[in-house]
Amino acid sequence: MKLKELSGAYRTGETLLAQRIRELRGALKGTDDPDACAALRRRIRELQPLRQECRELAELTGRYYEKGYRRHEKYTI
């Protein structure tokens, strides 16, 4: 698998995570149960960093071989 292909997989993952976060926010608006609200908020907080990482890795793998591209220091060895 090439990095460009991997970039597409990360973009797909980011899209799926964004969709799931939207679904959880919709469920959060539709519930009055405090325990359920707390669980939904916790799950949203857990998914947001994963979505951000997918977005960053999609850009990194998609542009890895571009001349002059400054890589994200978080993913540099």
In a domain, 38, yes or no: yes
**Pair 4, 62: CB distance under 8 Å:** yes
Q: CA 3 to CA 61: how far, in whole Å?
A: 5
In a domain, 52, yes or no: yes
| Per-residue pLDDT at 1 exceeds 80 | no
- pLDDT digit string, tens, across residues 39-74: 999 999 999 999 999 999 999 888 888 887 777 677
Tell how far CA 55 is from the center of its chain. 6
- pLDDT digit string, tens, across residues 9-38: 999 999 999 999 999 999 999 999 999 999
In a domain, 53, yes or no: yes
pTM: 0.84
Confidence of residue 77 (pLDDT cuts 50, 70, 90): low
Query: How confident is the model at residue 30, as a pLDDT?
Result: 92
36 lies in which domain range?
3-57
**Pair 40, 27: CB distance under 8 Å:** yes
**Pair 13, 57: CB distance under 8 Å:** no
In a domain, 63, yes or no: no
Domains of the chain: total? 1
In a domain, 50, yes or no: yes
Angle at Cα 16 formed by Cα 24 and Cα 48, nearest 5°? 60
